[in-house]
Amino acid sequence: MSKIYNIDGVKLGFASSNTRYGKRNDSVVITLGEKSNISCKFTSNSFKAAPIKVAQTNLKSSLRGEKALVINAGNANAATGLKGISNVKKYCKEISSLLKIDERNVIPFSTGVIGEPLPTDKYLSAFKKAINTLNAKNWKPAALSILTTDTKPKLISKEIKVGRKKISVTGFAKGSGMIRPDFATLLSFVFIDGIINSNSLERMHSNALAGSFEALTIDGDTSPNDASVLVSSGNEKNLIKRNSAEERKLENAITDIFEELACLLAKDAEGATKKITIKVFQAKNQKQAKSVAFTVAESPLVKTAMFGNDANWGRILSAIGRDSQINNIEKVSISINGQPMVKKGNLDPRHSEKLAAKAIKKKNIEIDINLGQGKSNFKVLTSDFSEDYVLINSDYRS
């Protein structure tokens, strides 16, 4: 990245708990100014982890004054019962005391192994060290500190011209596997250098998620932990009026940034060698378009064929047929990277195995599916399945 834009009132600190990852940094504290607004969206998994439960409770308060986001990697503190919640409350209370802020203004997040007791004292010690390193420039080390099986940080920073204002937006995310929306399983933190009405911020966040993290799947699994956070810093120089042209332009830019983060996650999925985009056209309705796109995107047979450079359209067609709403194969057409595969449910007369074999070797694959039933479209991002995906997940706790 050529330049990272700092966000007024936002400071980041990082440290190591010296637990799962040894001396690697795995703990982050982010402080926010008193006029900041926070929008959080959480996993749909019914068995929500302890930090998610505490975060949701805290966010029900008005959150006036300075705030803090607290993140640890390596231990999910999920399926840990009342003790897990007690542990979260313990370090939130300590951190609020050190920062001299309301305990409810500390919002916790965790990612890592499920079902293991949280080594609370070690993480608390790391959080205390992180507070001592708080700095407005610590974006990259913070982005690195929240990683689990990721191979690289996902960090985006842009300056957006909105009317006469130049507004900086900086965000980072993690997530390589166990990703499936409603809500997408990951941790993401995006910061806007301005003042945005809380209702507008919530709307921006929901709209940005719809075409990004909620249209991303790696393996169809959803963890109990993960969350997306959108923050407006409270910088009075960049006041954005509600329902203004400036707000609409900023919202479009925020959506673009979320989509870019989703692309980075797909490219760095566990063991991934290819980014795959599934586009469904002319579905009967949005529900059908979404259902077909995710069915194909999550098919292990389709994903392994993509890894093996096999333009096996039969696997794609079979996955489409699994959808209960699809009962007319004669209307279905499929292409891969522009190469015709299927027309009206049969091998397309224009199909060339030679050209298809060449197209499938690209690192970015686009599968276009035309259902011929209506006017609704939907797009999903995913990745291929390689041997490394199996190795990573068969050895995750070791």
In this prediction, residue 218 has a pLDDT band, given cuts at 50, 70 and 90, of confident
Nearest to 72 by CA among 38, 122, 33, 11: 122
CA distance 152 to 383: 16
Which is more confident, 175 or 269?
175
Which tens digit of pLDDT belongs to each residue from 179-210? Answer: 555 444 589 999 999 999 999 999 999 999 99
Structural domains of the chain, with CATH? 11-267 (3.60.70.12), 275-394 (3.10.20.340)
| Rounded mean pLDDT, 36-59 | 92
- Mean pLDDT, rounded, for 317-343: 89
Q: Does the structure show a pLDDT above 80 at 146?
A: yes
- pLDDT at residue 387, as a whole number: 75
Q: What is the mean pLDDT of the chain?
A: 91
Residue 344 pLDDT > 50, yes or no? yes
Q: Which of 86-90, 156-160, 223-227, 319-323 has the lowest mean pLDDT?
A: 223-227
Catalytic center residues: 185
- Extract the tokens encoding 109: 């997040």
Distance of alpha carbon 397 from alpha carbon 395, whole angstroms: 6
**Residues 349-377 pLDDT 10s:** 999 999 999 999 999 999 999 999 999 99
* Residue whose entry in the numeric block shows the structure tokens 């975060």: 55
Q: Which residues contact 378 (CB under 8 A, 6 or more apart)?
A: 215, 279, 280, 283, 286, 289, 290, 292, 293
| pTM of structure | 0.88
Say whether pLDDT at 61 is over 90.
no
What would the DSSP string read from start to end of 139-191? HHHHHHHT-SS-SS-EEEEEEEEETTEEEEEEEEEE-SSS--SSS-SSEEEEE
What is the average pLDDT across 22-35? 97
Check pLDDT > 90 for residue 151.
no
- Tokens read off for 106: 């500390």
In this model, does residue 249 exceed pLDDT 90?
Answer: yes
| CA nearest to 15, candidates 173, 159, 169, 129 | 129
Judged on CB neighbours under 10 Å (0-12, 13-18, 19+), 202 is: middle
Question: What distance in Å separates the CA atoms of residue 385 and residue 298, rounded to the nearest whole number?
Answer: 10
Residue 369 burial by CB count (10 A; 0-12/13-18/19+): exposed, middle or buried?
buried
Share of the chain above pLDDT 90, in %: 77
Q: What value does the mean pLDDT take over residues 212-239?
A: 87
| Residue bearing the bigger pLDDT, 390 or 165 | 165
Residue whose entry in the numeric block shows the structure tokens 């599968």: 367
The residue type found at 10 is V
Query: Can you tell me the distance from the alpha carbon of 157 to that of 168, in angstroms, rounded to the nearest whole number?
Result: 7
